[in-house]
Amino acid sequence: MPTINAATIFLEENGVDGLIQALQYLAKAKGMSQIAKETGLNRQSLYRTLTAEGKPKFETIDKIVHVLGFKLTIEPI
């Protein structure tokens, strides 16, 4: 699985859209079918969700992040 460093570049350069790009990158690396199965989403919905036009719900993002082995945190800037 690619390191989080590669995904961090998406986040730093593109903000919220970068988060979606990073999740898409990591999900493809792990396998979209596997991510879909573990999140309970169908594969087609997962692909659609992880696009700039996807506008996913926070709960969906949280599921994907969790399945990828990460957690969302908030810290001061």
- Examine the pLDDT at 31 and tell me if it is beyond 90: yes
φ/ψ region of 2 (left if φ > 0, alpha if ψ in -120 to 50, else beta) reads beta
This prediction has a pTM of 0.82
Provide the pLDDT for residue 21: 86
Does position 1 have pLDDT exceeding 90, yes or no?
no
Q: What is the mean pLDDT of the chain?
A: 86
What confidence tier does 46 reach under pLDDT thresholds 50, 70, 90? very high
| CA angle in degrees (0–180, nearest 5) for 68-15-74 | 65
Domain ranges of the chain: 4-67
Angle between helix 58-67 and helix 4-30 axes, rounded to 10 deg: 90
Q: What confidence score (pLDDT) does residue 2 get? A: 55
